[in-house]
Chains A and B, each alone.
Chain A
Amino acid sequence: MSQLSHIRNFSIVAHIDHGKSTLADRLIQFCGGLSEREMSEQVLDNMDIERERGITIKAQTVRLSYTAKNGQVYQLNLMDTPGHVDFGYEVSRSLAACEGSLLVVDASQGVEAQTLANVYKAIDVDHEIVVVLNKMDLPSAEPDRIKAQIEEVVGLPADEAIAISAKTGLGIDEVLEALVHDLAPPEGNREAPLKALLVDSWYDAYLGVMTLVRVRDGVLKKGMKIRMCATGATHTIERVGIFGPKATIIDELGPGEVGFINAGVKTVSDAKVGDTITDDRRPCEEILPGFKPSVPVVFCGLFPIDSADFPELRSALEKLSLNDSSFSFEAETSAAIGFGFRCGFLGLLHMEVIRERLNREFGLELISTAPSVVYEIELTDGKVEKLHNPADMPEVTKINNLSEPWITATIMTPDEYLGPVLSLCTERRGEQIDLTYTGTRAMVVYRLPLNEVVFDFYDKLKSITRGYASFDYQIADYKVGDLVKVSILVNGDPVDALSMIVHREQAEIRGRAICLRLKDLIPRQMYKVALQAAIGGKVIARETIAALRKDVTAKCYGGDVSRKRKLLDKQKEGKKRMRQFGKVDIPQNAFFEALKMGDN
């Protein structure tokens, strides 16, 4: 173990793509944590998806042993954090386990929306901040302009910002020296009762439930009986270790140190993130403040295209949730598209990541319903209910009012795109809070209803700014809105999977779009098919699929009858994939396609 004075715990915060994970890799390499041979690009991003998309989803931790220029050896605990807004809760957790942060800013792109969001989180928890300008090897790097921007927009002194290139290794030694000299060492008392923060927990196929901890006071050792303060459950420590970045068993974790324990905890949910771990025989007096639990804000239905895959989908979701307690799922049945699950996510990226993992790691072909937010319904009897699924909306007569979540969104954009960005926000019912310029970049802050953002806001924003805008948001509050449920009816029967909650002003446009889409997808039939979008009993859009006028086999003689009969048997088979609406049978596929097109 190290002296407290020789320990530094730090996070790296940055906007997505500003080179955070590459810097982490470079630091590990510099300190000899991995040999050249073992270095693969971005060692801390374990999942395929993380590596491919260049995003970090799970916070990772690694202990470095750094011999400083003064000859002393320091223990540096690095917590790599996700840069994406959906995983902001991971950032907060990591920050709580550290005393300082490295703020990484791309030397040509400058401050982006998530730079701000993440650095403010670090400032909020009183971190010392070391500013680093990355990607100095690029010809487009403009360190002076970016330094000025950091001072102006973020409000941090930047004249001593370290110019580095994580790619080439330039300035890495300076970063390490700054960590040692600029960040405060942790505080703690080795003799005091054990008090450790449960930073994260996950399931490892070989080691079982892993618990990542930051010790405040006392010591964690193998064989100790510990108590989880939130649940009161006790466990005996089987193993104490650190990541270097490979998991390595050590004797103990003392004050200020970060590492993992295995303690015979059965499921991840028994190791609550943010809980305080203490010694069962000599418990600490106060517990640590913990974290706000992360709650899903975006919901959608996930349905297997082949209904036979339903049990597999359930087991896949169970497996994924072992390591990601932030998403929720419960079984859902749709008359139109069969059996599936209603799933809750932290945001759209989180939703996409889970869907992609289900497809890649479990080989499941899925269809998802349009994403929806969580509404609050005040019923006429005074009760307030949360609504995750438009299909579950109570009758209008029982509703006093409907509230929707609003967000505070920060958008940074080159000023040439400011006009389109402002009209996009206005179109989406946004209310402007702030608009500032630094150089040629504008920062706008808007209040926006989240349901307008989950629809296709990201994509629109990206396309109108050619990918140059960045976006971050925080859930602000709930506000009563003029919201209506638009049902899509086929021959008078509602198609549950297609219903949606939208603002009254957009109801007609959105409803008509779906009717038109279905009109193209549903084959003509013996009876005409009426497609309607309706608010309650009031039809707001209508399309009709005319009846097929002739559907009869021209020739059928003695030699054709067996074939005709087999064709009928085949149709009977195919009927399993049909959904009956009044007198018409509609291929389930038409609804799948309608939902798929909604993705684009």
Chain B
Amino acid sequence: MPKQNKLGVYIHWPFCVSKCPYCDFNSHVEKDIDVEQWEFAYLSELRWMADIYRQKTQYPSVLHTVFFGGGTPSLMPVSIVERILETIEELFILHPKIEVTVEANPSSSELDNLSAFKSIGVNRISFGAQSLNTKTLNFLGRAHDTRDIYKALDVAFGLFNQVSADFIYGIPGQNIGSWEDELSKIIKFDLTHISAYQLTIEPGTQFYSRSKKGEKLTCDDDTIADLYDLTTNVLSSHGYEIYEISNYARLNSQCQHNLLYWNAQDWLGIGPGAHGRFTMTENRRWHSQTRRSPDGWLSSVQKEQHGIEIQNEDYISDFAKEIIVMGLRLTSGIELPDWLIGKSDFINLNWLDEFEKDGFITFNKNHIRVTKNGRLHLNSIVSKLLN
């Protein structure tokens, strides 16, 4: 029997105070939420998912991570979070070092919830800070200002050992100097984990329609590359090691939940528009996707106990693709399962050879890893390896 996968639970809370112009996540602005109905729905779907996981795998249900994402899950009524965590405890065997993360906005109204979250078992907080530059925050349409960020982090450090924050760079007018300045402020927070994302214009966002009309919303490709290198160098010299394309961590502070995705492990996806994956046997993987619309999901769960729209067993070729797409994002690379590497129809071996010669990839036995030079070309590398 193959090595048991790690298991996590992802809970999606689809509501925000306002919609940011760059965000393509499943988020909605809603004032009146029926707390009881939503609580009931989350618990039903959670039970249903735990059930199907048990039916389709022979593994004991040891749970390694829980992640509340969104939306703005820090806006969730604490009672719902509490009932979810209680139910999780009832359904799974909790790993002693279980990581329980809540994503939060650094606005003052949400800070009151933080200590309550801590008291019910949340042990990691991840802030959508996005920038320490007022102009940038305005450009990104964020509801908070830099003072809110300082205050929020202050509160968070008093409560949690693991505090992460997200930042966005690559906006028009940004240059090495201004980003370096911002990075030096970020470092001073002494966060345990930093995610730094290049601004990406995603279809369906306000930024997308604006850029279609010709507005320039990102800086040019060469500057982006410079900013990326700068980020990695500055953070590394301050003890944040890059472990994924856009993620940096102090020692023992990598996000365990996100590692499940990149390592093609198992997770159950609960809530509107959530995706779940788990491995049934060696190369057979089950996959679920729930309805995106909050109302649609809610009514489905009320009728059928789950809001799943798509559930099926992945084609083996799709599973292979996901392993490579996700695994090569990690600086440590991944161990390819025998079934994948043994059959050359999943990977283009000529390109594998070429990339190794060109110093973009290292490949040793089953272990494959993208080098520092290759990292910036990951999309091309993956596309060529898989086609």
Q: Which residues of A contact B261 (CB under 8 A)?
A: 556-558, 561
Contact for A550 among B26, B221, B260, B318, CB less than 8 A: B221
Q: Which of A392-432 contact B (CB under 8 A)?
A: none
How many residue pairs, one in A and one in B, have C-beta atoms under 8 Å apart? 91
Q: A319 at interface (Cβ–Cβ under 8 A)?
A: no
B interface residues, how many (CB within 8 angstroms): 44
Q: Which residues of A contact B379 (CB under 8 A)?
A: 551-553
With A559-B273, A568-B325, A568-B386 as given contacts, are A549 and B381 in contact (CB-CB < 8 Å)? no
Contact for A556 among B199, B224, B274, B329, CB less than 8 A: B329
Query: Is the Cβ of A558 less than 8 Å from the Cβ of B269?
Result: yes
Q: Which residues of B contact A553 (CB under 8 A)?
A: 200, 245, 378-379
Nearest Cβ on chain A to B265's Cβ, whole angstroms: 10
Query: Is the Cβ of B245 less than 8 Å from the Cβ of A554?
Result: yes
Interface residues of A (CB under 8 A from B): 524-526, 548-559, 561-562, 564-565, 568, 571-572, 575, 583
Alpha-carbon distance between A568 and B25 when the two chains are bound, in angstroms: 20
Which residue of A has the minimal Cβ distance to B289? A562
Query: Is the Cβ of B377 less than 8 Å from the Cβ of A526?
Result: yes
Contact for A549 among B329, B376, B386, CB less than 8 A: B376
Q: Which of B192-217 contact A (CB under 8 A)?
A: 197-200
Contact for B326 among A524, A525, A556, CB less than 8 A: A556
Query: Is the Cβ of B383 less than 8 Å from the Cβ of A550?
Result: no
Query: Is the Cβ of B289 less than 8 Å from the Cβ of A565?
Result: no
Q: Which residues of A contact B375 (CB under 8 A)?
A: 552
Per-residue contact bits, chain B 28-66, to A (CB 8 Å; 1 contact, 0 not): 000000000000000000000000000000000000000
Q: B117 at interface (Cβ–Cβ under 8 A)?
A: no
Nearest Cβ on chain B to A356's Cβ, whole angstroms: 34
Per-residue contact bits, chain B 114-154, to A (CB 8 Å; 1 contact, 0 not): 00000000000000000000000000000000000000000
Contact for B387 among A524, A558, A575, CB less than 8 A: A575
Q: Which residues of B contact A556 (CB under 8 A)?
A: 245, 261, 325-326, 329
Alpha-carbon distance between A584 and B10 when the two chains are bound, in angstroms: 40
Q: Which residues of A contact B275 (CB under 8 A)?
A: 558-559, 561-562
List the 8 closest A-B pairs by CB distance, nearest first.
A549-B225, A526-B380, A552-B378, A550-B225, A554-B197, A554-B198, A558-B261, A526-B377
Per-residue contact bits, chain B 343-360, to A (CB 8 Å; 1 contact, 0 not): 000000000001000000
Query: Is the Cβ of B10 less than 8 Å from the Cβ of A526?
Result: no
A/B interface sample: 29 pairs, CB < 8 A: A525-B380, A526-B381, A548-B221, A548-B380, A551-B376, A551-B377, A551-B379, A552-B245, A552-B379, A553-B245, A553-B378, A554-B198, A554-B246, A555-B200, A556-B329, A557-B258, A558-B267, A559-B25, A559-B273, A559-B274, A561-B322, A561-B325, A562-B275, A562-B289, A565-B318, A565-B321, A565-B325, A572-B387, A583-B354
Q: Which residues of B contact A548 (CB under 8 A)?
A: 221, 377, 380
Q: B277 at interface (Cβ–Cβ under 8 A)?
A: yes
Which residue of B has the minimal Cβ distance to A584? B380
Query: Is the Cβ of A551 less than 8 Å from the Cβ of B380?
Result: yes
Alpha-carbon distance between A268 and B302 when the two chains are bound, in angstroms: 77
Per-residue contact bits, chain B 280-320, to A (CB 8 Å; 1 contact, 0 not): 00000001010000000000000000000000000000100
Q: Which residues of A contact B378 (CB under 8 A)?
A: 551-553
Q: Which residues of A contact B10 (CB under 8 A)?
A: 558
